[in-house]
């Protein structure tokens, strides 16, 4: 890690701006930009038998160019990922906002479930998202379809998505949503496709909903949210899951340099029956053919130096039903709660456009097993 920090500190002299704009005399706009995130990651894991394993790497966590265009009430965006993992499409949509108080998008866009997932990774207060924002455990993330947001009646905001979504779950250890436009490198036999229906209501008691972390100005917010989704396998591929549904309850408060948020996700899914067997499947997070996950995240941040330095802390936990006998002797079911404590700090050079981040995690019961893990993240982000 010592070799990484001087490199990151040297970047603080770079100028920062987000996007290069070209605007013609009629107001038509073309914007080209992107985001670079370099991350160093260290982790140490202690297994149930006392053995220890370690992992570390330095890599491009995100390398994400984009193009935006707008003509009168129409707009479009294309963004793709060239960093960690296989290259993939991220945002890819056409939007229309010619109706007052209504925003409509058609294409690959984040669906309105999980407040933390709806916040761009560029504006998170930790290096990585918490358990309530991970698409590995039931958060749908980006999916291609119709997405609508409306200021229905102050102080209420409504959101709705109707999309085609894929679930990848060849091991039964996850309910992992991925976009059908982004899994070209995965065997189709491991993918379940189906229709996804998502709805969300934000109720603002103070200010307007801010899907961003860290408070740079004097605006205040207190928002209560409820969201739900239902996904139904189209049965073209039997896969692991027949259907899945989720419920989210969230609250967010930001004022006077302080931000506090709480989010609870309830994720349920029905797994397929074992071939030629009378018993229901029990493996990983699947218990007697069902998935029932309760996920909670509590986060707080305080801007110690206004607009410059924020310190943050979080507690997360995920619980799964464990009362089952594994269907396979070599594959255990979920055994205990997964608890995580996290501390973080962010040095803002130019708000979220240019910043350095540090996070430390201490976890117990990682992925429902008898194991502990400590992780350190150092990350530099630059929007151009």
pLDDT in tens, 200-222: 999 999 888 889 988 887 788 99
Domain count, the chain: 1
pLDDT tens digits for range 223-262? 999 999 999 988 776 667 889 999 999 999 999 899 999 9
pLDDT at position 5 is: 40
Asked if 53 contacts 369 with a C-beta cutoff of 8 angstroms, the reply is no
Which segments in the chain show pLDDT lower than 50? 1-16, 276-278, 329-330
**254 φ/ψ angles, rounded to the nearest 5 degrees:** -140, 125
In a domain, 242, yes or no: yes
In a domain, 72, yes or no: no
Q: Which residue has the tokens 């609508």?
A: 148
pLDDT at position 242 is: 86
pLDDT at position 339 is: 97
In sequence order, what are the residues at sequence separation of 6 or more whose Cβ sits closer than 8 angstroms to the Cβ of residue 263? Answer: 114, 115, 116, 132, 248, 249, 250, 251, 296, 297
In a domain, 367, yes or no: yes
pLDDT at position 190 is: 77
pLDDT at position 46 is: 95
Asked if 183 contacts 166 with a C-beta cutoff of 8 angstroms, the reply is yes
pLDDT at position 171 is: 62
**What does the angle CA 266 – CA 269 – CA 275 come to, to the nearest 5 degrees?**
160
* 3-state SS assignment for residue 336: coil
In a domain, 8, yes or no: no
Measuring CA to CA, which residue among 81, 79, 83 is closest to residue 91? Answer: 79
CATH number at residue 321: 2.40.160.10
For residue 145, count CB atoms less than 10 angstroms from its CB and return exposed for 0-12, middle for 13-18, buried for 19 or more. Answer: buried
pLDDT at position 6 is: 41
pLDDT at position 64 is: 94
pLDDT at position 8 is: 43
Bridge partners of residue 149, in order along the sequence: 103, 159
As a whole number of angstroms, the distance between CA 84 and CA 87 comes to 8
In a domain, 22, yes or no: no
pLDDT at position 326 is: 57
Asked if 123 contacts 213 with a C-beta cutoff of 8 angstroms, the reply is yes
In a domain, 346, yes or no: yes
pLDDT at position 7 is: 38
Q: DSSP assignment of 114-159, as one string?
A: -HHHHS-GGG-SSSS--GGG-TTBT---EEEEEEEEEEEETTEEEE
pLDDT at position 25 is: 63
As a whole number of angstroms, the distance between CA 327 and CA 168 comes to 20
Domain span holding position 374: 98-383
In a domain, 79, yes or no: no
In a domain, 81, yes or no: no
């Amino acid at each position: 890690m010592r070799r990484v920090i001087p490199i990151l500190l040297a970047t603080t002299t770079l100028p920062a701006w987000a996007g290069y704009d070209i605007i013609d005399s009629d107001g038509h706009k073309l914007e080209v930009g992107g985001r670079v995130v370099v991350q160093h990651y260290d982790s140490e894991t202690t297994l149930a038998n006392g053995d220890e394993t370690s992992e570390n790497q330095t890599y491009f966590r995100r390398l994400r160019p984009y193009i935006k265009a707008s003509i009168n009430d129409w707009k479009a965006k294309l963004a793709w990922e060239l960093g960690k993992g296989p290259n993939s499409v991220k945002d890819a949509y056409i939007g229309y906002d010619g109706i007052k108080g209504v925003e409509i998008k058609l294409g690959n866009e984040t669906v309105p479930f999980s407040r933390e997932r709806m916040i761009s990774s560029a504006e998170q207060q930790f290096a990585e998202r918490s358990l309530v924002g991970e698409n590995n455990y039931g958060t749908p993330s980006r999916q291609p379809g119709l997405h609508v947001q409306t200021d229905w009646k102050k102080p209420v905001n409504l959101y709705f998505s109707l999309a085609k979504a894929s679930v990848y779950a060849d091991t039964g250890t996850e309910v992992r949503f991925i976009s059908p436009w982004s899994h070209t490198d995965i065997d189709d036999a491991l993918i379940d496709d189906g229709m996804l229906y998502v709805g969300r209501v934000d109720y603002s008691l103070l200010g307007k909903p801010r899907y961003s972390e860290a408070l740079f100005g004097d605006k205040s917010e207190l928002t209560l949210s409820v969201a739900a989704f239902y996904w139904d396998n189209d049965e073209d591929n039997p896969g692991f899951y027949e259907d899945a549904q989720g419920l989210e309850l969230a609250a967010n408060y930001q004022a006077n340099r302080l931000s506090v948020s709480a989010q609870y996700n309830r994720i349920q899914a029905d797994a397929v029956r074992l071939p030629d067997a009378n018993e229901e499947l029990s493996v990983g997070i699947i218990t007697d053919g069902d998935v029932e996950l309760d996920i909670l995240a509590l986060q707080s941040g305080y801007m110690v130096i206004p607009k410059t330095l924020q310190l943050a802390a979080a507690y997360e936990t995920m619980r799964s039903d464990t009362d089952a006998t594994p269907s396979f002797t070599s594959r255990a079911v979920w055994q205990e709660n997964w608890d995580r404590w996290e501390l973080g700090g962010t040095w803002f050079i130019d708000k979220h456009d240019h910043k350095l981040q540090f996070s430390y995690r201490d976890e117990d019961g990682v992925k429902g097993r008898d194991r502990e893990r400590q992780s350190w993240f150092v990350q530099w982000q630059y929007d151009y």
